[in-house]
Amino acid sequence: MKDVSRETPPLVDKLFPRAAVPLSVYAELLATEGTLRGLIGPREVPRLWDRHLLNCAVVERLIPEESSVADVGTGAGLPGIVLAIVRPDLQVDLIEPLLRRTTFLEEAVDTLQLENATVVRARAEDLPPASYDVVTSRAVAPLAKLARWCLPLCVEGGLMLAIKGASAEEELDASERDLMKLGAELCHIHQLGGDELANPTTVVSIVAGRAAGGSRHGRHGR
């Protein structure tokens, strides 16, 4: 099977020209060390760009400038490291409780020289509430459970962005009551990259109300 992770697709240079080189370095890290350490399945290596890197990169379109971002359950750094690469204006905390993953993340941040990314070994529920403008996640948990971890971390008016699959609408419908209890004010499903990516990215965005975070300014409040 062809290893496309070692070939930077032309679409990367078109969409993220300034980030193409570091994205390629990160793709190589995932394909090698990430696979060896069990953070990326071997079958995912040939589709790293399409299914993972570009899938995450387009999420930046929903994030306001100079936001503080927490990527909850970041794993190998998806989408957190990708967002830090394509958006130098963001301050991204990579939230991950497992040591073997945070070790890889620290090495990746160091290799990529990402001054705007910090590895935080912790569980989301142990972090201070109302700490971030935006909280992201990808393939972490069902939406209702995920919201219990993520929404409290958002400042009032902040955003929870959950990268989801085909079941996004069903999950949102099923968790609406729970979301309202957590202080969600506005929920929306976005399809990103529909004209550019082979597999567009589905994101559930939730605006946090006062009950979620309780403050108007995050850790890097503007």
Fill in the amino acid letter for 55.
N
With 90 as the cut, is the pLDDT of residue 59 above it? yes
State the pLDDT at residue 5: 47
Element (H, E) at 135: strand 132-138
Q: Is the pLDDT of residue 6 over 70?
A: no
Query: Rounded mean pLDDT of 88-113?
Result: 98
Mean pLDDT of 72-98: 97
User: What does the pLDDT read at residue 166?
Assistant: 86
Q: Taking residues 118-134, report their average pLDDT.
A: 96
**How many residues in total does the chain contain?**
222
What per-residue string of b and e applies to 16-38 under the rule 16 or more CB within 10 Å gives b? Answer: beebbebbbebbebbbebbbeee
Average pLDDT of the chain to the nearest whole number: 91
CB–CB of 197/55 below 8 Å? yes
- The pLDDT tens digits for 13-22 are 999 999 999 9
DSSP secondary structure letters along 144-208: HHHHHHHGGGEEEEEEEEEEE-TTHHHHHHHHHHHHHHTTEEEEEEEEESTTT-SSPEEEEEEEE
SS3 (DSSP) at 70? strand
Residue 124 has what pLDDT? 95
pLDDT confidence band for 210 (50 / 70 / 90): confident
Q: Which residues contact 213 (CB under 8 A, 6 or more apart)?
A: 129, 130, 131, 151, 152, 153, 154, 155, 156, 158, 183
Residue 214 has pLDDT above 70, yes or no: no
Distance of alpha carbon 186 from alpha carbon 179, whole angstroms: 10
On the question of pLDDT at 3 being above 60, the answer is no
> Does domain 52-208 bear CATH number 3.50.50.60?
no
Per-residue tokens: 220:
């890097």
- pLDDT over threshold 60, residue 30: yes
pLDDT at 83 over 90: yes
Confidence at residue 141, expressed as pLDDT on a 0 to 100 scale: 86
For the ranges 3-17, 84-98, 185-199, the one whose mean pLDDT is highest: 84-98
